[in-house]
Amino acid sequence: MAKELTLRGENYSQWYNELVVKADLAENSAVRGCMVIKPYGYAIWEKMQAELDRMFKETGHVNAYFPLFIPKSFFSKEADHVEGFAKECAVVTHYRLKNSPDGKGVVVDPDAKLEEELIVRPTSETIIWNTYKNWIQSYRDLPILCNQWANVVRWEMRTRLFLRTAEFLWQEGHTAHATKEEALEETERMVNVYADFAENFMAVPVIKGAKSENERFAGALETYTIEALMQDGKALQSGTSHFLGQNFAKAFDVRFATREGKEDYVWATSWGVSTRLMGALIMAHSDDNGLVLPPRLAPYQVVIVPIYRSDEQLSAINEKVNEVVAKLKARGISVKYDNSDTKKPGWKFAEYELKGVPVRLAVGPRDLENGTVEVARRDTLTKEVAQLENIDQFVADLLEDIQANIYKKAFDYRTEHTTKVDNYEEFKNVLKGKGGFVLAHWDGTPETEQKIKEETKATIRCIPFEGEKEEGKCIYSGKPSSQRVLFAIAY
């Protein structure tokens, strides 16, 4: 029968780790800190990729690919950037192995030392800006709107599948513009694309805002973010978009002839989301029975299980189900008919529930007689009987309903777990007891933010774009503040 899961209420962290493995999403690999994304997990990632890729192209972006290795000297050109990534870099020093003199295996050939070490890409700003230098001479060459789908390596000591691994998959957009206004517009456009994707496909409500100086991307002047709340009351940064000003253009001497015939440095942005979104998807919606997937990202939206005693019954069911499958596929609904005889229906029900398939149809001999089918919803775990005749329309409407319901559930959870506080005592109590997002006044200084972080582990997730402007006093220092910011303990 089903693979038992630890309950969320007992140990959320263990529940998450078990679910990722038992639902066949990913597993740890032979390489410490790296994961194997299994076919079912990768199918979800591919759906995410396809939607995001479509959204990027609709906003005028094109895909390119840049090298995995970055010369070490590139990192010393932008001081803030190198400082932000120095502790997480994997470095390639040699290019050859040879048989060990003692005949046991291989050793690194000491004569094959690289003249200059190469860094395995933790992010690509440096190699891309070194490249853009050759692409940009005048304002006619701008804007450049490139994205790449790639893997990156950030040497992490404490890892968790999807949330934090030494190597992960992501996309990184890197754009070049003639004016500051255009670059800022792009930075905002892309954080909006991410929010649109999170809410309409992942069914995860997010708060958009700007990062505080302490939390900004290394080398950025502004970082915009989308912040989501997980079911354990912790925040997850789910996508970021950075306004890089002219920092990288100055570091790599990327200048262009302006419309007015002057010379200026190019303005830049970068933005990215990663396989961390898989973690968000799992933690925002799933329950003690397993995954709950929003229909728009489920590898298959419908699974059909036959219930039969004889081969004769099975072939009659097969015939009817094949018609249903064709109708569903004609509507663009992805469906799996599991008529394998190696597992019992009960086992299949539990398995597809664990894997979060949004809709399950069960068809037995009596259903064929009555022209009906049993329909089970994964999100509410409820069942009903529907007519086979218009089942395609019924299922299409149901999938829309499930998508909306999953979003509403996550939205209501976030509303219940967002608290306004006006003093530090209250702030600490909410974090300790209720958790979630805390809206509080802050004096705008990095020192205060750092003190709060040291004392409570909570960080400023963002300064919300849609936050109402209201005068108040910083909960920590008592100094004046013009709007509340969003605090939380985060992944």
Taken in order of first residue, the domains within the chain and their CATH numbers are 12-71+122-285 (3.30.930.10), 295-406 (3.40.50.800), 417-488 (3.30.110.30)
Structure-token pair, residue 230: 């997980």
Whether 471 and 216 have beta carbons less than 8 Å apart is answered as no
Query: pLDDT tens digit string along 33-43?
Result: 999 999 999 99
**DSSP symbols for 400-431:** HHHHHHHHHHHHHHHHHTEEE--SHHHHHHHH
Query: pLDDT tens digit string along 267-284?
Result: 999 999 999 999 999 999
pLDDT of residue 115: 97
pLDDT of residue 463 exceeding 60, the answer is yes
Closest CA to 288 of 2, 3, 1, 8: 8
Whether 165 and 34 have beta carbons less than 8 Å apart is answered as yes
By the 10 Å C-beta count (0-12 exposed, 13-18 middle, 19+ buried), 10 is classed as exposed
pLDDT of residue 476: 97
pLDDT of residue 31 exceeding 80, the answer is yes
pLDDT of residue 419 exceeding 80, the answer is yes
pLDDT of residue 344 exceeding 90, the answer is yes
pLDDT of residue 468 exceeding 90, the answer is no
Structure-token pair, residue 153: 């390596």
Residues of the chain with pLDDT > 70, as a percent, come to 99
Helix (H, G, I), strand (E, B) or coil at 211: coil
Distances in Å between the Cα of 163 and the Cα atoms of 54, 168, 275, 333 are 24, 9, 8, 30
Task: Flag whether the pTM goes above 0.85.
Answer: yes
Query: pLDDT tens digit string along 144-176?
Result: 999 999 999 999 888 899 999 999 999 999 999
d(CA 374, CA 379): 16
Query: pLDDT tens digit string along 201-211?
Result: 999 999 999 99
By the 10 Å C-beta count (0-12 exposed, 13-18 middle, 19+ buried), 146 is classed as buried
Give residues with Cβ within 8 angstroms of 440, minimum separation 6. Answer: 420, 421, 422, 427, 475, 484, 485, 487
pLDDT of residue 151: 98
Query: pLDDT tens digit string along 39-74?
Result: 999 999 999 999 999 999 999 999 999 999 999 999
In eight-state DSSP terms, residue 117 is E
Helix (H, G, I), strand (E, B) or coil at 113: strand
Token match 């989308």: residue?
A: 226
pLDDT of residue 418: 98
**How many of the other CB atoms lie within 10 Å of CB of 257?**
15
Query: pLDDT tens digit string along 398-411?
Result: 999 999 999 999 99
Binning pLDDT at 50, 70 and 90, where does residue 1 land?
very low
Averaged pLDDT, 237-244: 98
Give residues with Cβ within 8 angstroms of 264, minimum separation 6. Answer: 178, 255, 256, 258
Structure-token pair, residue 285: 């919606």
Binning pLDDT at 50, 70 and 90, where does residue 469 land?
confident
pLDDT of residue 454 exceeding 50, the answer is yes
Closest CA to 428 of 377, 338, 340, 489: 489
Instruction: Please state the φ and ψ torsions of residue 454, each to the nearest 5 degrees.
Output: -65, -35
Binning pLDDT at 50, 70 and 90, where does residue 229 land?
very high
Whether 38 and 46 have beta carbons less than 8 Å apart is answered as no
